[in-house]
């Protein structure tokens, strides 16, 4: 499901289930299950995090920021305490380490 941007045309051949387009320029924002609201909401959450907390993110760590906000998005319907408990449980058996990202 995408907006009407021309670069998205033909994308349905690459994904099982096809491709649905919503035409924002015609005032269409949803048609049954076809909408981009979830994607737009996720990116709004990511943008608020960058603008409000992190202020700058590097390309080397972009995947980590996206992972963090994906976690927040996936668990958005529960309170902060429950989300923190889930995050801590997911660290079991893992060691926190840092290595410098490869410069490519």
Domain match, 48 and 18 both: no
- For residue 32 the two structure tokens come to 């049954």
* pLDDT over 80 at 101, yes or no: no
Domain match, 45 and 85 both: yes
Whether residue 17 lies inside any domain: the answer is yes
Whether residue 51 lies inside any domain: the answer is yes
Domain match, 43 and 82 both: yes
Domain match, 50 and 73 both: yes
Kindly state the average pLDDT of the residues 86-99.
87
Domain match, 56 and 22 both: no
pTM, two decimal places: 0.63
CA distance 70 to 49: 12
Confidence of residue 104 (pLDDT cuts 50, 70, 90): low
Domain count across the chain: 2
Say what the pLDDT of residue 81 is: 95
* pLDDT over 90 at 74, yes or no: yes
Q: Which domain holds residue 55?
A: 37-89
């Amino acid at each position: 499901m995408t907006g009407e941007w021309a670069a998205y045309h033909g994308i349905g051949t690459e994904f099982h289930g096809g491709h649905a387009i919503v035409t924002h320029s015609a005032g269409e924002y949803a048609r049954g299950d076809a909408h981009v609201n979830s994607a737009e909401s996720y990116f709004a959450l990511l943008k608020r995090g960058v603008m409000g907390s992190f202020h700058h993110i590097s390309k080397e760590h972009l995947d980590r920021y996206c992972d963090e906000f994906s976690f927040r998005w996936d668990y958005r319907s529960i309170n902060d305490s429950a989300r923190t408990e889930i995050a801590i449980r997911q660290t079991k058996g893992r060691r926190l380490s840092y290595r410098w990202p490869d410069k490519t």
